[in-house]
Structure 1
Amino acid sequence: MSATADHAEERTTLAARLGFQPGQVVQELGYDEDTEQDLREAIEEHTGTELVDEEYDDVADAVLLWFRDEDGDLTDALVDAIGLLEEAGMICLLTPKTGRDGYIEPSDISEAARTAGLSQTKSISVGKDWNGSRLATPKAAKTGRR
Structure 2
Amino acid sequence: MTERRQSVQQSPADWVARQAELYEESGGTEGTTMRGAPCLLMDYRGRRTGDWRRTVLIFGRDGEDYLVVASNGGADNHPLWYLNLESDPRVRLRVLTERFDARAETLGHEEKQRVWPHLVEVFPPYADYQRGTSRDIPVVRLRRV
Same fold judged by TM-score > 0.5? no
Using the size of structure 1 for normalisation, the TM-score is 0.30
- The TM-score normalised by the length of structure 2 is 0.30
More strand by share: 2
